[in-house]
Structure 1
Amino acid sequence: MPTFEEITRHHDENPDEDPWVVGPPAPETVEVVPYDPDWPRRYLALSAEVRGALGDVVLGVEHVGSTSVEGLAAKDVVDIDIEVADPRDEDAYVPALERLGYVLVIREPSFHEHRCLRLAEPRVNLHVFGPDCPEAIRHRMFRDWLREHPEDRALYEGAKRAAIPGGGNVMDYNARKQEVIREIYDRLFRAAGML
């Protein structure tokens, strides 16, 4: 199990690492839409497909990100975290996921060996981490906090809407809302006695 320090540490990109497997994403219009009650059902169908394709290779599957928080406006993209024994062993999971239509787009050895695969339709970001990964724990904590704290859910939604103007790619949008995300993390870590 990771330490509190490992879980509460924010990730800063490694400037010496190019994470893009197929090149950086093209600029796109970011659209935040009202909460869709179909998102949890979509996740259940997608997670069943992933579990079916990977069998015992997948150790855990979680719906994370904004579409996992009832009432929260979001991009119409389902985020899923999966846990495998070793994310570096791409042969154990990437070919099976490619057969489902996923494309490996991010490889970040310096960031907990994170891998991200994307599905174009429906839009999915499938994040791959190893067992007890601090970032996967953070994702679950953030999701659960927003589910239970409507004031921070509203704060985060406001940050999302404020981050849309300015164009660029999704990474630019994410950077513009980072300050509020870290503020919420600080609050939830303190409430959990981790800071």
Structure 2
Amino acid sequence: MSATRDPRRPDVTTVELVGGVEALELELHDHDERWADAYLDHRRRIQAALAAVDVEIEHVGSTSVPGLAAKPVVDIVVTVDDITAEEDYLDALLAAGYELRVREPGHRLVRTPARDVHVHLYGRGDPAVDEYLLLRDHLRSDADDRALYESTKRTLLGQRWDDANAYADAKTDVISAIKARARAARRH
């Protein structure tokens, strides 16, 4: 199907935020084992919708890390052969009940109407996927960095945020430091 398609066709060049900026409600919840079940349910839903497409599906983000408090939003990464070939995956995901939220270079985001599951789509081999997995795997195995990350999130949530992207950006320095330690640990 998409194996014959040229994956170098032009991608979008701007960020399209469907529905615009939304009111922000950020609240951390203690880790909930139901997040793993929700991931598995949506994994099956995505696999059924994209049965004709070669995809890889991973649970990422804080809900994928046992013991870590998180916003109750399950983040899922799906890799496709060609992110620009939306006809291969987007209509099927919309038909499965997801809504398009973000279209930007190299990345699409669909989510549930309840906004409790975010599905991030990337082209196979996109370094962003490796970054998600690096952070997830390290936080799963390193209690000190897991505690640091949770503490950082709790501190930031004590501030007022008008946009989830601003909150996410505020975590960047801590996440970068944690990922640097994760890379160092991988080398040893």
Q: Would you call these one fold, judging by a TM-score over 0.5?
A: yes
1:7 aligns to what?
A: none
Question: Which whole-Å CA distance do the structure 2 matches of 1:35 and 1:121 have between them?
Answer: 19
Give the TM-score taking structure 1 as reference length: 0.84
Question: Which whole-Å CA distance do the structure 2 matches of 1:159 and 1:172 have between them?
Answer: 14
* Residue 110 (structure 2) aligned to one of 95, 111, 117: 117
Q: Residue 76 and residue 146 in structure 1: after superposition, are their counterparts in 2 closer, same or farther (change >3 A)? A: same
Query: Where in structure 2 are there 5+ consecutive unaligned residues?
Result: 1-12
CA displacement at 1:59 relative to structure 2: 1.8
Q: Residue 122 and residue 173 in structure 1: after superposition, are their counterparts in 2 closer, same or farther (change >3 A)? A: closer
Instruction: Report sequence identity in percent.
Output: 37
Question: Which whole-Å CA distance do the structure 1 matches of 2:141 and 2:82 have between them?
Answer: 32
Give the letter aligned to residue 144 of structure 1: D
2:21 aligns to what?
A: 25
Give the TM-score taking structure 2 as reference length: 0.87
Q: Residue 185 and residue 24 in structure 1: after superposition, are their counterparts in 2 closer, same or farther (change >3 A)? A: farther
1:64 aligns to what?
A: 60
Query: Where in structure 1 are there 5+ consecutive unaligned residues?
Result: 1-16
Give the letter aligned to residue 172 of structure 2: Q
Q: Summarize the alignment of residues 2-151 of structure 1 with structure 2, pairs less than 5 Å apart.
A: 18-109=14-105, 113-121=106-114, 123-151=116-144
- Tell me whether 1:166 sits opposite 2:155 in the alignment: no
Instruction: Tell whether the 8 Å contact from 1:27 to 1:167 is kept in structure 2 after alignment.
Output: no
Give the letter aligned to residue 180 of structure 1: V
Q: Over residues 129-159 of structure 1, what are the superposed CA-to-partner deviations in whole Å (9 max), with x where a residue is unaligned? A: 1112211011111101000001000000011
119-128 vs 181-190, which moves further: 119-128
Q: How many residues align?
A: 175
2:177 aligns to what?
A: 183
